[in-house]
Each structure stands twice: as structure tokens, then as C-alpha cells.
Amino acid sequence: MHGEPAVAVLRLGHRPGRDDRMTTHVGLTARALGADRAIFAGGSQAAETVRDITDRFGGPFEAEVTDSPKAVLRNWDGRIAHLTMYGERVQDVEDEIRATRDDDGESLLIVVGAEKVSFDVYEAADWNVGVTNQPHSEVAGLAVFLDRLFEGRELDREWEDADQEVVPMETGKKVVDPDGEEQ
Amino acid sequence: MHGEPAVAVLRLGHRPGRDDRMTTHVGLTARALGADRAIFAGGSQAAETVRDITDRFGGPFEAEVTDSPKAVLRNWDGRIAHLTMYGERVQDVEDEIRATRDDDGESLLIVVGAEKVSFDVYEAADWNVGVTNQPHSEVAGLAVFLDRLFEGRELDREWEDADQEVVPMETGKKVVDPDGEEQ
């Protein structure tokens, strides 16, 4: 989060149309919960949406598109955690994963699939991780994983170069510009 | 989680077609991460999908459909937390919310909107809660909120009456039936 070693999220298996909103939510969740960048397969409009949100609400955060997610996996310089309901329990492996980043300085690629993920992804991953071994949502799995990886520190991050900022309120909505003027 | 006081998730503002998968993911996330039931607005197929998953992977978990989400809010006997990017920071209010359930025995309704949520929902809520004050995903917000509400205990829950169970694996997929036979 915010500097080295980087945490990136790779979204695999996007099916245009069907997965558009889920893929966008993967990207926005990656940004909001402390990752440094998201990498989307070609055919998704998600990178554009995420860049637009970053322009308005701040960064730093990078959204990239790749034609070869497999090459991203193959060439990743660091560790790889693949989120899957078939994997080891997050509560059992999170400390080890966190240590490779916090103590050993290794960057982390978090892989998030859509429906079927091919077996070579399971083999390329240093960890296959289940946020529960129940079928639910790749967005939910990513969110819990990031919150645990960063131990909640991502919730306190500062955002740079935002055009607008939401001010937390008991009731109602308050949005201010960089000078603190209500919008 | 698993008994009184109950935690339910109410999904507001479902737009048929556009929101189908997000609404289903809200329901599956509620089930996987420790809520006792989910309540969907009419027009959604999500309840059916969530019941099917509960039949196969276990419960207890209830999925209901309502024609009047507003009546659910109005008649709720317990506390209400509405998840919104405009709300108070989850890290500031989670202890208070948890205490009303764990110490005071009050049930909790977690309200999850789609796009615009009308102002009376903000007023009906005991807490408007932001899982970050950034735009991201209602599924991600719900996931982090539940994991924090239950302090991770939801990850260790046992499932009853499952036809199949996923066995956590370092690599690969293993699914067994109730007798432990591989499927």
C-alpha cells in the first residue's frame, strides 16, 4: 500500500458483457482497499472506469489492460496469491503471506478469477487461498483478503490529488473539494 | 451468526437485469460470511440462487423476497446499519455496533443499496457506515463489515446439512460428500 513492495490485483477470465460490472467492482475494490494497481484482461471497460474514479477521488492507483494475463503471471517478480474457494483457509495462511511482503520485501500479485480458472493458475500461485471454502463472490473475497493483508491500515490511507473528498457523516452526504468547500 | 441475535442483510434498490449478479453476490456473501438471512426486493432471482447454494453447501441460512423493503426497515425489531460511502468510518463505529449485538442482545439489519438510496433510509438507520469513504462495491463493503462484525469467527463456522464440502487444498480442487467420499 502506497509504495514498495507493490500489491497488484490481476483479474482473470473476464467475459465481456456478462462480467463487466463484477470486473469493475474488482478494480474499484482493489483501489479502495489499498492495492497499488489493477490489471485487467483485454475487452473490459473496467480500467477506464477505475481511472476515472482515481482522477476524481485520488490516488495513486494504476489501472492497466493486458492481452496476456498468463504472461503477467509468468513474468511476475514477487509472490502470487490466487483467491479460490478450493484453496487453503485465509486465516491459516495470511500471516505467512503478509510476512513475505512486510519482512522480506516481496511484491504481491493477487489473482482473482471469474468462473473457471485453468489449472496452470493454481500451479503458478505461491498460495491458493480461500476466503471461506464456500461459493460467494470474488469481490467479497478480495475485500476481506486486502483488509486482512493490510490489517486495516488501508482504511486510514490518505488520497492524493483528489478533486473531491467525502466527509464521513452520521446522516446525509457531504462532499468537499480540495479547499474544503462543499460541493 | 448461527443463532440469536440474528444478523440479516437487506438488499435495496435492485434493478432487474442490471443488478442481478451483484444482488446474487450480496446474498452469497451474506451467507458465506456469517449472516443468518438475506432479504431481497421483488424482481430478483437472487433468493432462488442463494437457496440452491444453501441446499448444496449447507446452512442454516434463509433467503427471502419482499415487496416492501421500506416495511422491512420500518418494522425491524433491533438495530439497523446502512452501508454507504457517505457514512461514518467503519473503524470508528464497529465496536459500538458489535456491542449492541454481543452485549445487549439486539439483532442487526445490515442495509446494502444499489445506486441511489433515498434519504429516509439514512434516517431509519442507527448507523450509516462507510467501509472507506471511496466509491467501490457494495459486495466488498458488506464483506469487510461482516468480517469485522464477527471478528473473523465466521470463517470457522460449521455448515449443517451440506451435500458437498470443499476441502481446503494447497493446489487443486477437492470436494467431498457428507461421508467424506470424494466427488
Is A114 annotated as a binding-site member? yes
Q: B40 to chain A, minimum CA–CA distance in Å?
A: 16
The cell numbers describing A163, all together, are: 478533486
The set of long-range contacts for B153-156, using a CB threshold of 8 Å and a minimum separation of 24, is B153/B1, B153/B34, B154/A132, B154/B1, B154/B33, B154/B34, B155/A89, B155/A90, B155/A91, B155/A131, B155/A132, B156/A91
Encode pLDDT of B29-63 as tens digits: 999 999 999 999 877 789 999 999 999 999 999 99
Q: Average pLDDT in the A147-172 region?
A: 96
Q: Do B135 and A172 touch (CB under 8 A)?
A: no
Predicted local distance difference test score (pLDDT) of residue A2: 59
- Looking at chain A, which residue has its C-alpha nearest residue B124? A171
Query: CA nearest A144 in B: which residue?
Result: B144
Residue A108 has pLDDT above 90, yes or no: yes
Longest CA pairwise span in chain B (Å): 52
How many folded domains does chain B comprise? 1
Q: Give me the domain span that covers residue A74.
A: 7-176
Beta-carbon separation of A140 and B92 below 8 A: no
Q: Which of B31, B154, B170 sits opposite A88 (nearest CB)?
A: B170
Q: What is the predicted pLDDT for the residue at B44?
A: 78
Has residue B2 been placed in a domain? no
Is A165 part of any domain? yes
Instruction: Tell me which residue in A28, A119, A168 faces B135 most closely, judged by beta carbons.
Output: A28
A96 domain residue, yes or no:
yes
Whether the predicted pLDDT of B13 surpasses 80: no
- Across B42-92, where does the E strand assignment appear? 62-66, 79-89
A134, B31: Cβ pair inside 8 Å? Answer: yes
Mapped onto helix, strand or coil, the DSSP state of residue A103 is coil
The nearest CA of chain B is from the CA of A105 a distance in Å of: 23
CATH number at B119 reads 3.40.1280.10
Q: Which residues neighbour A99 within 8 Å (Cβ) at sequence distance 6 or greater?
A: none
Judged against a pLDDT cut of 70, whether residue A106 lies above it is answered with yes
pLDDT in tens, B123-150: 999 999 999 999 999 999 999 999 999 9
Q: Omega into A135 within 30° of 0, i.e. cis?
A: no
Point out the residue among B57, B89, B139 whose CB comes nearest to the CB of A137.
B139
Q: pLDDT (tens digit, 9 = 90+) per residue, B80-115?
A: 999 999 999 999 999 999 999 999 999 999 999 987
Q: Evaluate if residue A14 carries a pLDDT over 70.
A: no
User: Is A116 known as a binding-site position?
Assistant: yes
